[in-house]
Structure 1
Amino acid sequence: MTDISLTNHVLAAATCITVLIVALKLFKSSNLDHIPSVGYSYWPASYISAFKYMSSAAQILQEGYVKYKGAPFKIPTLNRWVVVVGRQNLEDIKKATDDELSLVEAVNDTIKIDYLIGPAISADPYHIPLARIRLSRKLGLYYPDMKDEVHIAFEELLGLKDNAWKSVVAVATIREIVCRASNRVIVGLPLCRDPDWIDLNARYAVDVAFDANILNMFPKFLVPFVSKVLPNSAAGIKRATKHLDPLIEERFRCMKEHGDEWSDKPNDFLQWLIDEKEECTTRQLTLRVLTLSFASIHSTTNTCTQALYNLAANPQYVEPLREEVDAVIREHGWTKEAMVLMQKVDSFLAETLRLEGVLTTSVQRKALKDLTLSDGTFIPKGTHLYVPTYVFHRDSAIYENPGIFDPLRFFRLNDDGNESSRHRMVAMNRNYFPFGYGKHACPGRFLAADELKTMFAHILTSYDVKFEDRVSRPASIYWDSNVIADPTVRLLFRKRARN
């Protein structure tokens, strides 16, 4: 037997043993037997339910919600058993301390951050409060740059002439525009327009997710070894470091020469990281930049594309939206303040997120100790909790005609003159939380909202849009907990026809 043949046999045997260990470990649910299940609750039949969840998560969540009348239930996934909690448990999650229910540990288990990005990201996530403070309290400072990048990117990528229609692949086009606009805030000019940097950012989240899925197939003791042979994430980090190294070195040189402040000091996320003085190597700072990019670009791309599909499928709403945008821009210009005043646009995007949010579940947590929820449900240490966002956002007890896309739904809810911000798309309450809930809600949601409204308003004021070869809205793709805008759909753009 040749060495190569022997190696293949050893690898095959190791793989079989690994699969058996994982199967026995993942689908032994004795510590959750007191919580009812959706699907098969015993191994190996539970694997059937786990595979079904990959393509039918929405239906399974809906089934559990109806069957158990909003009480917690458990579902098998390919990686572990997950407890899906009810609306009454949202306050339990909100009030829990980080050493009781941890978002960081839950995400780390799912995406394997420690192995694919770096342990410092989860050990000291200082970039999260930094993003929360800077991206929410100082929106007006960076908004002009982001707005300019949105306008320039649309003009360059569409390249429209006269009144001719141009066909583009919606997801790919919007992703590049989002990447440029986001990175104008993250790393600034000229890097945000670099084609290789844009391609890297577009691929990185996909690469990390792909590698994480592979690692999740192996038992914990093998993950450190397997992660070292996965090429995608490591290659992305190396590629990003090559781009950022000269930029970071130049900024450190300026700080050494001029001190902490100088006349043309950049105002971007990278500089905010440097100013914190928590980390000082190119690799450390690169990992933080990639983490923010990972968290923002694809979710914003997906939401903007879904909103465009809704606009093309509901052309009767174009004029009311245009009237609002035109009036606001006439009086306030392209400013942060103008974005706040576009309440119909905000409502359109909020309704898009309600029906086509990026995930069917959210508010993910991992129990770091045994605890009992307010309804008496016992949650053992190590259990993952999900909140079924998809189900809550379609609850007929909360929303009238919940399955119908009603773009002015939230505008009407806000039209009471008293709580005008309660039903905005960045708001959080027990019935609506596309950006999460409680103190760990998405720290970049204000940047995402401004970016989405700027892009959508620019499209309304500058272009006519329609589907190339269809009339009805394309169905979203459901994969695991993800809700994905159809990446194959083409849209037609032309310069806005004005009376």
Structure 2
Amino acid sequence: MADTQAIPVLEAIIAKLPLIFPALAATVTLVLLQAVLSRKSLAKFPVAGQALGGDEKRRQAYLHRAADLYVEGYQKFKDSVFRIVTSNKFTVIVVPPKYLGELRKLPDDVVSFDGAIAQTMHAKYTKLPIGSTLIPHTIKTSLTPALVRLNPSIADEVKESISQELPPCDDWTPVNINQKLLRIVALVSGRVFIGAELSRSEEYLDAAINYTIELMEARRAVEQVRPWLRPILAPRLPEVKSLDRRLVQADKFLRPIVAARQQMQDGEKPDDLLQWLMDGQDKFKQYTTAELARFQLALSFAAIHTTTLTSTNVFYNLAAYPQHMPELRDEIRTVLAEHDGVFTSSALQAMKKLDSFLKETMRLYPVGSASFQRMVNKPFRLSNGQVIPAGVVIEVPAAAISHDPEVFQNPDKFDPWRFSRLREQARAAGEAEAAAQNQFVSVNPNVMTFGFGRHACPGRFFAANEIKMIVANFVLAYDMSLPEGVTERYPNLAFGVSFVPDPRKEILLKRIA
């Protein structure tokens, strides 16, 4: 019976074969033609890792030593554009920093910041929310201006969190500083993001911290899968499934909070980022409670992940170079004495050596090999005549620039007061703008910690204040050193294009009198 019913269907298919085959052939021809043209256009750019012999070997090299590829390309081709074969489906075109002035002027429909993040973070599988203008708008227009008002309460949260999370350390005590900083940063950030009462909830801390960790684990797991297999295998990866469960759990916790906020009258509303996001919706679109809850997780990732990485790098340097601690401590004590012991905005700005220590840390220990990532949606021409094709991601080799002896003197040496000296020299020469460019929060082509252009990290002012308060409190309260037998600063770990301080390491802390 089933075979009899299938006969008319087969006859109908056979009858249409003369129409299907030409259409199928045309489609295949078009795809092959596009692939050939794409390869031809990309072949114009020299490739880093040429000696490796093939793209598959270059993909493997990208996974395990991407930094070497960026440095090789930067040194070999210097002021020229070159390409890097990544472990993803797309090709990266690396552009020298001299073109940043013209790149920053390109509209978003030509080069897309969100498109690049979607690719590098594998948003299709990790479900990281991409493309909302509400978040950066709210950070720029509400959070940053509020820092003058919020800094004293942020400082209180920093002090309380350190007291809560640290052991007594009356004698030299080994401490996994990365683990401690995860909770301290989550507590401090949560105070601003979602309010003091909720930020101390273990349920919130668990969601905020573990979402950050699981998101990065899922990203790395997807990165290991061959691009053509990702649509099939990526959703089944244990790391991706774990992240999915975390999203469901956090969503269940955060949605009632958002719903309760929606019922509040103006006089009852808290003074925090969640409320500012909710109040700012009318300028953009009305988001569901689920979407607003997802935004909170995305903010936790952006704040906790990068701030903890940066702070851990700073503490590894403090422990490795304890000879700089007295000078740093003297500055912090002097500045606070001049500001009634309060971490005001002006006090934080006056801590120039602390600011320099942070910027030098990020110069020498960046979070990645590249910056200014943009997905190219439409071809465009550089001033040298080169055409950058659509479908690639452009980047600037930030880490290689920071290690260039033509840019920085003794670039491989950790020089904590490098940028405070540069600020003083520029100020003495009457170059106020050049002096400002050497601040931790500044974006410039030489140190691209926070990106560049209109999509530079909007939360960098909050992050800088938070890091400065955390570091200052530790410097005032503790001596630090590396454990016995460890003679050099802990090396960072590399995962593809990313660098992270080894989260397993300990430093020694001892409370000072």
Q: Secondary structure at the match of 1:431?
A: coil
Amino acid at match of 1:68: F
Q: Secondary structure at the match of 2:448?
A: coil
Residue from 420, 442, 464 that aligns with 2:457: 442
Deviation at 1:140, TM superposition (A): 1.4
Greater Rg, structure 1 or structure 2? Answer: 2
Q: Does the Cα contact within 8 Å between 2:423 and 2:438 map onto a contact in 1?
A: yes
Residue in structure 2 matched with residue 100 of structure 1 by the alignment: 110
Amino acid at match of 1:134: S
How far apart, in 2, do the equivalents of 1:164 and 1:195 lie? 29
Q: Does the Cα contact within 8 Å between 2:134 and 2:277 map onto a contact in 1?
A: no
Q: Which moved more, 1:411-420 or 1:430-439?
A: 411-420
Residue from 459, 464, 475 that aligns with 2:479: 464
Deviation at 1:485, TM superposition (A): 0.4
Matched, 1:133 2:141: yes
Deviation at 1:166, TM superposition (A): 2.4
Residue from 60, 80, 83 that aligns with 2:93: 83
Deviations 1:185-213 (A, max 9, x none): 11112221222322322221332233345
Q: Does the Cα contact within 8 Å between 1:115 and 1:224 map onto a contact in 2?
A: no
Q: Secondary structure at the match of 2:436?
A: coil
1:185-334 matches, within 5 Å, as 185-215=192-222, 217=225, 223=231, 227=235, 230-255=240-265, 261-262=266-267, 264-277=268-281, 278-332=285-339, 333-334=342-343
Residue in structure 1 matched with residue 158 of structure 2 by the alignment: 150
Q: Secondary structure at the match of 1:359?
A: coil
Q: Cα gap change, 1:315/1:33 in structure 2, threshold over 3 Å: closer, same or farther? A: same
Deviation at 1:242, TM superposition (A): 2.4
Give unpaired runs (5+ residues) of structure 2: 1-30
Matched, 1:337 2:337: no
RMSD between superposed Cα atoms in Å: 2.5
Deviations 1:234-264 (A, max 9, x none): 2222221222233223222223xxxxx21x5
Aligned residues: 465
Q: Which moved more, 1:86-95 or 1:352-361?
A: 86-95
How far apart, in 2, do the equivalents of 1:56 and 1:116 lie? 24
How far apart, in 2, do the equivalents of 1:387 and 1:143 lie? 34
Q: Does the Cα contact within 8 Å between 2:335 and 2:347 map onto a contact in 1?
A: yes
How far apart, in 1, do the equivalents of 2:220 and 2:495 lie? 13
Deviation at 1:173, TM superposition (A): 1.1
Matched, 1:426 2:430: no
Deviation at 1:219, TM superposition (A): 5.7
Q: Does the Cα contact within 8 Å between 2:49 and 2:72 map onto a contact in 1?
A: no
How far apart, in 2, do the equivalents of 1:428 and 1:106 lie? 19
1:350-369 matches, within 5 Å, as 350-369=359-378
Q: Secondary structure at the match of 1:415?
A: helix
How far apart, in 1, do the equivalents of 2:244 and 2:455 lie? 28
Residue in structure 2 matched with residue 55 of structure 1 by the alignment: 64
Q: Secondary structure at the match of 2:196?
A: coil
Q: Cα gap change, 1:123/1:343 in structure 2, threshold over 3 Å: closer, same or farther? A: closer
Q: Cα gap change, 1:351/1:193 in structure 2, threshold over 3 Å: closer, same or farther? A: same
How far apart, in 1, do the equivalents of 2:104 and 2:80 lie? 17
Q: Does the Cα contact within 8 Å between 2:258 and 2:293 map onto a contact in 1?
A: no
Q: Does the Cα contact within 8 Å between 1:465 and 1:493 map onto a contact in 2?
A: yes
Residue in structure 2 matched with residue 484 of structure 1 by the alignment: 500
Q: Does the Cα contact within 8 Å between 1:39 and 1:46 map onto a contact in 2?
A: no
Amino acid at match of 2:127: I
Deviations 1:203-236 (A, max 9, x none): 2133223334555646689749954884233222
Q: Secondary structure at the match of 1:138?
A: helix
Residue in structure 2 matched with residue 3 of structure 1 by the alignment: none
Amino acid at match of 1:142: L
How far apart, in 2, do the equivalents of 1:251 and 1:143 lie? 24
TM-score normalised by length of structure 1: 0.87
Q: Cα gap change, 1:123/1:195 in structure 2, threshold over 3 Å: closer, same or farther? A: same
How far apart, in 2, do the equivalents of 1:249 and 1:40 lie? 56
Q: Secondary structure at the match of 1:29?
A: helix
Q: Cα gap change, 1:336/1:220 in structure 2, threshold over 3 Å: closer, same or farther? A: farther
Q: Does the Cα contact within 8 Å between 2:373 and 2:395 map onto a contact in 1?
A: yes
Deviation at 1:316, TM superposition (A): 1.4
Q: Does the Cα contact within 8 Å between 1:158 and 1:166 map onto a contact in 2?
A: no
Task: Among all aligned residue pairs of Structure 1 and Structure 2, give the percentage whose two residues are the same amino acid.
Answer: 31
Matched, 1:493 2:509: yes
Amino acid at match of 2:77: Y
1:5-24 matches, within 5 Å, as none
TM-score normalised by length of structure 2: 0.85
Residue in structure 1 matched with residue 420 of structure 2 by the alignment: 411
Residue in structure 2 matched with residue 181 of structure 1 by the alignment: 188
